[in-house]
A and B are shown apart, each in its own frame.
Chain A
């Protein structure tokens, strides 16, 4: 009885997923206890695009980003209403197992946070915790992920060395490789270059551009130039509201809302 129920739900989900909406927020509200941090957000992320989230500090960019892999669940007193969809499935649905969900969403954090393990083991971590231990295939996947993260040439001779021997920029690319190894259907990046020097930053930006072929990316950034360079779509948040969402080019040339205009032109934030 129960089995057929779930099957039906899944069928319905696959039906609604027409492949055009990789991820989607529908009327999403989020409360930290009494604090209304996200206010009725509606946003669609198309596959193989980069969506930039911009807005002044504290406007809810990270909170919004962390909806998609349910990292907000870790915080006490968080309440969420509305629907968050990933490939047509409700991320907060009853049939979702959080660990499973997180395996299909990669996340890159503001500060590089490699594990105190070898370079190899950092990339292999996500596979190992998923019970994948095939040695040869593991080596292939680690190599492939490092190549995708544009780090392979720099580390191929020292895979056994500690990840802490890498520079900050290399560490961040390692964290990207780590996220790629689990073949996520969506990659979340929370200010991935804000702790890096200009050279490392531009490497990461190039990387994001290249990854678009295979992946869908949502990136939080404070850097307008960066948003302009890497993203296809931009969402401007202000005090928990999504003020404007459009193609990046359109929005940067011709913002509809005066707040957006002020922010982009650097008049506040």
Chain B
């Protein structure tokens, strides 16, 4: 009887464990599918607002335009159809705001009922026209044709240098500045955190007395527990003005500020993981080195650190991983300018900061919204690669 009850209990326990892990795995899977489902949508869309069309005359030989070309046309950087593969004919832009320069109110009628036919006239008269119109003004018997826009490609997305997701009529979804911003800030962070973290780890593992170590260890763990918004606040109030002052800059919100803050945030990971790695160096090797007349410092640089090399590499990659995904603190101190950085003293914008800052304003299901999800995919892939390489380093060390 008792045995049976025990058996039922064990079985129930097994079911609970199994379902917990199933729920967890399914949740992760669901999030990933959701991310990809929303993000991939960007690459089947044309970069034009819904219910709007671009119309050209029937004589126009241009097949399609990219979003970038469209933007240049509207900025008058491109003024001739020749420049986009058409005939030598200057481009005449026409939007609804230009109505009054071509037509009088009488001609259009009280309720714009004549507008479609007038537009047809205009298109016939001006072979170089590029009209940007709401669907409702497009004539049903169109004398010209709709100019399709090139669909957004992955390549364009990743290599595009301009991120203007809300500009009209041609939003730009180039994320290169954001990728580079993320890389700059992360690289800077690791350049700051690795030497500092490694030095601290060596000190804790090899030099400090047990008592000192017992004091240091909790402080470092405390560092890991501070919420990132507090780091951001500290950065904003202390670091940003300091950088502005030191380098005599117009603004202190720079990649450097982000790197320093992220570097500090990555320190606990780097210190703890490298210290553990350094501790795996066998005492017998250190003794062998010392017995041959090596100084303590020579022993550290020639035996202890090389032995812990893969652990230290893993530590720095984990540190980068932390930096790449960090949002709040970076958002607060980097200035969020979506331009390709050339020095550490310029404002930059990272992928997570972009998502956090813009998701609230992006209309649900719109292009901007999808583009932010595509950014999410990119971030997911970067961190995935980082985690995988850490695992690879770990398993390679074991074998």
- Confirm or deny: B360 has a beta carbon within 8 angstroms of a beta carbon on chain A: no
B79 within 8 A of A: no
User: By DSSP majority rule, is chain B's interface helix, strand, loop, or mixed?
Assistant: helix
A-B contact pairs, 19 of them (CB 8 A): A71-B287, A74-B287, A74-B290, A99-B294, A102-B291, A103-B292, A105-B291, A106-B292, A107-B288, A109-B288, A113-B282, A113-B287, A115-B285, A115-B303, A126-B293, A129-B302, A175-B288, A178-B292, A179-B291
Contacts of A102 in B (CB 8 A): 290-293
Tell me if A263 counts as interface (CB < 8 A to partner B): no
The answer to whether B292 touches A126, judged by C-beta atoms less than 8 angstroms apart, is yes
With A109-B284, A115-B303 known as contacts, the answer to whether A100 contacts B291 (CB < 8 A) is: no
Given contacts A99-B295, A113-B282, A116-B307, contact A129 B288 (CB under 8 A): no
**Contact across chains for B291 and A69 when beta carbons are under 8 A apart:** yes
User: Quick one: which of A45-94 are within 8 Å of B by CB?
Assistant: 69, 71, 74
Tell me, rounded to whole Å, the shortest Cβ–Cβ distance linking A114 to chain B. Answer: 8
In the complex, what residues of A have CB within 8 A of residue B292's CB? 102-103, 106, 125-126, 129, 178-179, 182
- Contact at A71–B290, with CB atoms within 8 Å? yes
Contact of A144 with B by CB under 8 A: no
What is the minimal beta-carbon distance from B214 to any residue of chain A, in angstroms?
14
Instruction: Provide the residues of chain B in CB contact with A115, threshold 8 Å.
Output: 285, 288-289, 303
A250 interface hit (Cβ, 8 Å): no
Q: How far is the CB of B278 from chain A (nearest CB, A)?
A: 14
| CB–CB A103/B293 < 8 A | yes
Contact across chains for B284 and A111 when beta carbons are under 8 A apart? yes
- Whether, in the assembled complex, A8 has its beta carbon less than 8 Å from a beta carbon of chain B, the answer is no
- Asked if B298 is at the interface (CB within 8 A of a chain A CB), the reply is yes
| A167 interface residue (CB < 8 Å to B) | no
B297-350: which residues lie under 8 A (CB-CB) from chain A? 298, 302-303, 306-307
List 5 additional contacts besides A106-B292, A111-B284, A113-B285; criterion CB under 8 Å. A105-B291, A107-B291, A115-B289, A126-B294, A129-B298
Number of A-B contacts (CB under 8 A): 62
Contacts of A116 in B (CB 8 A): 285, 306-307
Q: In the bound complex, how far is the Cα of B289 from the Cα of A109, in angstroms?
A: 12
Shortest C-beta distance, B17 to chain A (Å), equals 41
Contact B294 A129 (CB under 8 A): yes
How far does the Cβ of B293 sit from chain A's closest Cβ, in whole Å? 3
Assuming the contacts A116-B307, A129-B295, asked whether A109 and B287 have C-beta atoms less than 8 A apart, the reply is yes
**Interface readout for A127-162 with B: 1 if CB under 8 Å, 0 if not?**
011100000000000000000000000000000000
Assess A71 versus B291: contact at CB under 8 Å? Given A115-B303, A116-B306, A129-B302: yes
How many Å lie between the Cα of A100 and that of B288 in the bound state?
A: 15
Residues of B within 8 A of A178 (CB): 288, 292
Chain B interface residue count, CB cutoff 8 Å, equals: 17
B398 CB → nearest A CB, Å = 15
- In angstroms, Cα B307 to Cα A111, docked, is 18
Return chain A residues, CB-CB under 8 Å to B291: 69, 71, 102, 105-107, 179
The reply to whether A100 and B293 form a contact with Cβ atoms under 8 Å apart is yes
A113 to B283, CA, bound (A): 10
Q: Which residues of chain B are near A107, meaning CB under 8 Å?
A: 287-288, 291
Write out the residue numbers on chain A whose beta carbons fall within 8 Å of the beta carbon of B307: 116
B307 and chain A: residue at smallest CB distance: A116
- Cα distance, A179 to B293, chains bound together (Å): 10
Give the complex CA separation of A57 and B303 in angstroms: 30
Q: Mark A30-53, 1 if CB is under 8 A from B, else 0.
A: 000000000000000000000000
Give A152 to B307 CA distance when docked, in angstroms.
26
CA distance A31 to B284 in the complex (A): 23
CA A41 – CA B287 in complex, angstroms? 25
- Distance, CA A111 to CA B285, complexed state (A): 11
Contacts of B289 in A (CB 8 A): 115, 125, 129
Q: Which of A74, A113, A126 contacts B284 (CB 8 A)?
A: A113
Question: Please, which residues of chain B bring their CB within 8 A of the CB of A103?
Answer: 292-293
| Complex CA–CA separation, A177 to B306 (angstroms) | 22
CB-CB < 8 A to B294: which residues of A?
Answer: 99, 125-126, 129
B94 CB to nearest A CB, Å: 74
**Shortest Cβ distance from B292 into A: residue:** A126
Question: What is the bound-complex CA distance between A111 and B293, given in angstroms?
Answer: 19
Instruction: Please report the C-alpha to C-alpha distance between residue A106 and residue B287 in the assembled complex, in whole angstroms.
Output: 12
Q: Quote the shortest CB–CB distance from A102 to chain B (angstroms).
A: 4
Contacting residue for A113 out of B288, B295, B302, CB 8 A: B288
- B306: nearest chain-A partner, CB-CB: A116
| Chain B: minimal CB distance from A252 (Å) | 30
Docked pose: A113 CA to B282 CA in angstroms: 9
Cα-based distance from A130 to B293 in the complex (angstroms): 7
Determine the residue in chain A with the shortest Cβ distance to B298.
A129
CB-defined contacts of B303 to chain A, threshold 8 Å = 115
C-alpha gap A71/B293 in the complex (Å): 11
| CB nearest neighbor in A for B210 | A76
Q: Mark A158-183, 1 if CB is under 8 A from B, else 0.
A: 00000000000000000100110010
For the complex, give the distance between the alpha carbons of A114 and B306 in Å: 14
- Closest-by-CB residue of B relative to A175 is B288
- Bound together, the chains give a CA A125 to CA B307 distance in angstroms of 15
With CB as the reference atom, state the residue of chain B lying closest to A178: B292
Instruction: Give the chain A neighbours of B295 by CB distance below 8 A.
Output: 99, 129
Cα distance, A105 to B292, chains bound together (Å): 8
Q: How far is the CA of A5 from the CA of B282 in the complex (A)?
A: 42
CB distance from B297 to the nearest CB of A (A): 10
Q: Closest chain A residue to B282 by CB distance?
A: A113
Q: Report the minimal beta-carbon distance from B41 to chain A, rounded to whole angstroms.
A: 52
Chain B residues near A69 (CB-CB < 8 A) = 291
Q: A175: which B residues are within 8 A, CB to CB?
A: 288
**CB closest chain-B residue, reference A126:** B292
Give the most central of B284, B285, B291: most A CB within 10 Å: B291
**In the complex, A113 Cα to B285 Cα: how many Å?**
6
Shortest beta-carbon distance from B168 to chain A in Å:
62
Query: In the complex, which residue of chain A has the Cβ closest to the Cβ of B302?
Result: A129
Residues from chain B with Cβ under 8 Å of A114 in the complex = 288
Output the nearest chain A residue to B296 by Cβ-Cβ distance: A99
